[in-house]
Structure 1
C-alpha cells in the first residue's frame, strides 16, 4: 500500500463516515464510499477503548497486513475505513484477517 493510497485527513474520514455504507462484525466495522480514482484509499482507526498504545498499534499493524496481503482481490475506486472494535485486542492475526475478508465479501468488494 503506497502512501498516497492512505486516508490521512480528518475531512476524508468524515466524508467516508457521512456518505459511505457501513457493515460490522464482532471485530471490525467497515465504511465504504466510491471515489473517482483508479485505486482504493484506505484508513484504519483504533480507538482508545481497544487498549493502550501498544495494543492499538498491534491491532492496526494486523489490520494493515491483512489488507495488504488481500489487496489484489479487492475492487478499486473506493475509499475504505476499517474501525477496530474492543474485542480485537485479544484477537489473533487469523481472526482479524477472517473478519476483514468477511466484511469485504459482504460489501461485494471481491473481484
Structure 2
C-alpha cells in the first residue's frame, strides 16, 4: 500500500474516531469517515501492546496491509478508514485476518456494489 494512502497524523485519527461510524467483530474494529472528492481510500492501523511484542504487532500490521491491497478494488474510494486490531488477531494467520477484515467491511457497507 502506498504511503499517501495511509493516515498517520493524530488529528486525522481523532477526527475519524470522534465523527466517524464504527463496526466491529471479535478480531477487528473498523471506524470510517466519508470524505468527498477523494480518489482512493486512506487507512490508519492501530495494533496495541496487548497483541504482543513488537515482532507480533508488526506481523499483524503487515497482514492487514496485504489484505487491504488484495481487497483494494472492492473498497469504496471516498472514505478514510481506521482499523484497530483486538487480542484474537495475535493467534491468527493471514487468511483468517483477511476473512475477518472482509466481514467487517461487508457489515459496514464499504464494498462497492
- If the length of structure 2 is used for normalisation, what is the TM-score? 0.95
Cα distance in structure 2, aligned partners of 1:71 and 1:45:
19
Cα root mean square deviation, aligned: 0.8
Q: Which residue of 2 aligns with 1:28?
A: 28
Does residue 1:70 correspond to 2:95, yes or no? no
SS in 2 for 1:59: helix
- Size of the aligned set, in residue pairs, is 111
Q: Which residue of 2 aligns with 1:2?
A: 2
Cα distance in structure 2, aligned partners of 1:108 and 1:72:
14
Aligned pairs for 1:31-110 within 5 A = 31-36=31-36, 37-110=38-111
Shift of 1:109: 1.1
Cα distance in structure 2, aligned partners of 1:2 and 1:57:
17
Cα distance in structure 1, aligned partners of 2:60 and 2:2:
20
Dislocated runs of 4+, deviation >6 Å: none
Shift of 1:105: 0.5
Query: Any unmatched runs of 5+ in structure 1?
Result: none
- If the length of structure 1 is used for normalisation, what is the TM-score? 0.97
Cα distance in structure 2, aligned partners of 1:61 and 1:2:
13
Shift of 1:38: 2.1
